[in-house]
Structure 1
């Protein structure tokens, strides 16, 4: 006969999968098994943090394990992925019948696309009666390259790291044609922003 904990974890896996499919590709959904902190990650959907099933609990998970009075729900707190991308996170602690934290369901939203959309909308709605100086379309550096990649992904309702292979190749051809690859350390910047190797960048740009 299956135990209470096993049934609970199976139900939480289904919830995590459903949330992951609903909010793909912008929201990473992670299920943590807090009864096994050294191998806490039980499931991960829309993997934006480059973690893997079986990796240990985060500081927040360890805090819940140590303190049963730790807040059950923490919503929309600022976070960041390992590569520096900004995120906002929500963490929901799950207790068993004895009031002990046994699991946590966490949602991490990649804010890259949304910040870019906010910037695009702000630029589009800005009014300058005097005309002002014209902005050069020539990329000025790493920030300009990242912004161009973000706009490309936003136009396809996705994030840079969620681009399909054929979309990524189209992007690299566009960047090459615009002279972006001539910028110092361009391949390194593009590879980091897309989550691929520099070899892939060079191959896709051909």
Structure 2
């Protein structure tokens, strides 16, 4: 039987709760496993949304063994390419857990099945594809709307925020800048500004005064 200190037991118990919560949140696309690195021959303590076919009691992975051998091994290895036993592509993240002595005692590992997302990506690509040579050519967006949105994005980026998170004084300065640039002369400019800022058209007009 593996001997553990009180602190190590507490850390493992808490990690099991974290894994359960993550598993419930990201089901069914993400496998979440807890590895006990104090017992590498029977490392897996829990596995949620089992995508790999492993079981509780399965041995540690190569990454787990490297952490056991080297306490200085990276504690977080995120978004690395992986593959399930049946060939499905996966994106994995492994987080090592150390005890008070700086030794690895456990790891929380997440493996995302990318096969469904690749299918969705392909379907979405087909759905949004357009024939550039098709006629008639038209736009449902007022001419110049893209320029307005681009300028708003630039101003927000300059302030290290997003258009919808701009404060009232920033919105007033933004409308002033748009007006000076002649962008408020564009047809339906206020509708475009309001939609991009996530405010009402009346509010946009008030900021422009």
TM-score bucket of the superposed structures, by smaller chain:
0.5 to 0.7
1:3 alignment counterpart: 6
Aligned-partner Cα distance in 2 for 1:93–1:110:
21
1:24 alignment counterpart: 27
Aligned-partner Cα distance in 1 for 2:68–2:97:
11
State the secondary structure of the residue aligned to 1:61. Answer: helix
1:51 alignment counterpart: 54
Which string of whole-angstrom CA distances, capped at 9 and with x for unpartnered residues, describes residues 114-145 of structure 1? 111100010111123679xxxxxxxxxxxxxx
Q: Would you say 1:34 and 2:58 are equivalent positions?
A: no
2:77 to 74, 79, 93: 74
State the secondary structure of the residue aligned to 1:113. Answer: helix
Total equivalences in the alignment: 130
Q: Would you say 1:114 and 2:117 are equivalent positions?
A: yes
Normalised by the length of structure 1, the TM-score is 0.61
Aligned-partner Cα distance in 2 for 1:7–1:71:
23
Aligned-partner Cα distance in 2 for 1:100–1:106:
18
1:104 alignment counterpart: 107
Aligned-partner Cα distance in 2 for 1:71–1:84:
27
Q: Which runs of 5+ in 2 are unaligned?
A: 135-209
State the secondary structure of the residue aligned to 2:20. Answer: helix
Which string of whole-angstrom CA distances, capped at 9 and with x for unpartnered residues, describes residues 4-48 of structure 1? 111111111000000000000000000000000000000000000
Give the CA deviation at 1:87.
0.4
2:129 alignment counterpart: 126
2:190 alignment counterpart: none
Normalised by the length of structure 2, the TM-score is 0.60
Aligned-partner Cα distance in 1 for 2:7–2:71:
19
2:97 alignment counterpart: 94
Aligned-partner Cα distance in 2 for 1:39–1:124:
47
**Largest Rg, 1 or 2:** 2
State the secondary structure of the residue aligned to 1:31. Answer: strand
Kindly report which structure 2 residues correspond to 1:56-67, keeping only aligned pairs within 5 A, or say none.
Answer: 56-67=59-70
Aligned-partner Cα distance in 1 for 2:17–2:10:
11
Aligned-partner Cα distance in 2 for 1:122–1:116:
10
Q: Considering only aligned residues, what root-mean-square deviation do their CA atoms show, in Å?
A: 1.3
State the secondary structure of the residue aligned to 1:68. Answer: coil
State the secondary structure of the residue aligned to 1:52. Answer: coil
